[in-house]
Amino acid sequence: MNSRERVLDLFKGKPIDRVPCFSGMGNITEEGINKLGYKFAAIHSDAKMLADTAASTYKLFGFESGVVPVDLCVEAEAMGCAINVYPHAEGILYPTIKEKLIHKEDEMDITLPSDLASKGRVKLICDAIKLLKADIGNDVVVGSYVLGPFTLAGQVMELNDLLKLSFKKVDKVAKLLDLMADAIIIVAKEYEKAGVDFITVREMGATSDVLSPRVFKNLILPPLQKILKELTASSVLHICGKTNDIVTFMMEAGPSAISVEQKNDVAETRKKLGKDALIFGNYDPYNVLVSGDENLVRSTMRQCIDNGVSAVWPGCDIWPTVPPQNMRAMMDEIKNYGGKE
């Protein structure tokens, strides 16, 4: 069974030969970018460069997915936010939102552009998905990601205000999050049409480090359910930080799988959600994969598997300066250890 079949079967709940090692979030490497001779700041606005870069982690290391986009600004940009790609940066800087749509509470009543699917870089990402599929789509799954409603709302308005209003003006925030869900659905549908195998919904901002499980259940869960109900591709719901108290809500949101990071006690999550739940995670992509040595990489991979992850998958974007030998050690360890019961 090749990597693609392995991951697709995993999503279908069929038995597989070993735990796969992939990600639905950013996983491009400096090694890949340099080999292609591209400049990081340029790849975000060129479908071919984006697709080539996204394919390189599989081609160089055997990583079991290819994912575009690689930045977090696509939806907000399509809605009208200006972004900064840091064209003059020497090193790697990911794009950020330069200009918000909502500056104060009484500006929250916004509407979506009627042609959202053709705004910003949505089409460009779809082109990149098609190129990526044509390039490596027979060998590995091709994925894409969208933000979660709360995380996206934190981009289009001041996060500080959003957080306070989630407490003071719940109805207003709920209405905004519902609109964010609509925007996310429109973008995700385009990615599905372009042929992605799976979509990750990244609701980083709604971690229990920031919001109480109660607010998560009342405010974040409904728009997440709305989004995940609309998706036809396999889906993964990712939340950073502390998540042990909300993993059941994450499952209730209705994704095919949930993704958690290193702060989650996966053994406990496995106990809570049962043996059939798809739990992806949960190694620290920086402190293990980038700054750790090969031994730490290998022991962490074994630990993830022993704790019961369904797929070994990073807690966040893999930082591009990851040493190639660590990527190789990760893949090697999972191939050797990932089939053990």
Partner 1 sequence: MADDAKKQEIFDKMKNGVIQYDEDACKEGAQEALDAGLDANEAIFDGLVAGMEEVGRLFEAQEYFVPEILMCADALYAGLDILKPHCKQMDIGVKGSVVIGTVEGDVHDIGKNLVKMMFDVAGFTVYDLGRDVPLDQFVEEQLKTDSELVCLSAMMTTSMVGMPKVIEKIKAKNPNCMIMIGGAPTSQELADKWGADGYATDASNALKEAIKMVSFLKKLRDEKLAKK
Tell me whether residue 19 or residue 74 sits nearer to partner 1 (CB atom).
74
Given the complex with partner 1, which of 101 and 163 has the nearer CB atom? 163
Number of residues written out for the chain: 341
Q: What are phi and psi of 254, to 5 degrees?
A: 95, 25
Nearer to partner 1 by C-beta: 123 or 263?
263
Question: Which is closer to partner 1, CB of 120 or CB of 320?
Answer: 320
Q: Which residue type sits at 57?
A: T
Q: Which residues of 42-55 are buried (b: 16+ CB within 10 A; e: fewer)?
A: ebbeebebbbbbbb
> How far is Cα 260 from Cα 238, in angstroms, rounded to an integer?
6
Residue 291 Cβ vs partner 1, minimum distance, rounded to whole Å: 7
CB of 287 to partner 1, least distance (A): 6
Binding residues for partner 1, per CB under 8 A? 84, 86, 89, 91-94, 96-97, 159-160, 163-164, 166-168, 208-212, 215, 240-241, 285-287, 291, 316-317, 319, 321
Strands 96-99 and 82-84, by their bridges, are: antiparallel
Nearer to partner 1, 146 or 219 (CB): 219
Minimum distance of partner 1 from residue 329's CB (angstroms): 19
Shortest CB 13 distance to partner 1, Å: 32
CA atoms within 13 A on the CB side of 161: 16
Q: Closer CB to partner 1, residue 199 or residue 215?
A: 215
User: Shortest Cβ distance from residue 203 to partner 1 (Å)?
Assistant: 15
Q: How far is the CB of 165 from partner 1 (least distance, A)?
A: 8
**Cα–Cα dist 145/79, whole Å:** 16
Alpha-carbon distance of 148 to 140, in angstroms, equals 25
60-76 core/surface letters (b: 16 or more CB in 10 A; e: else): ebbbbbbbbbbbbbbbb
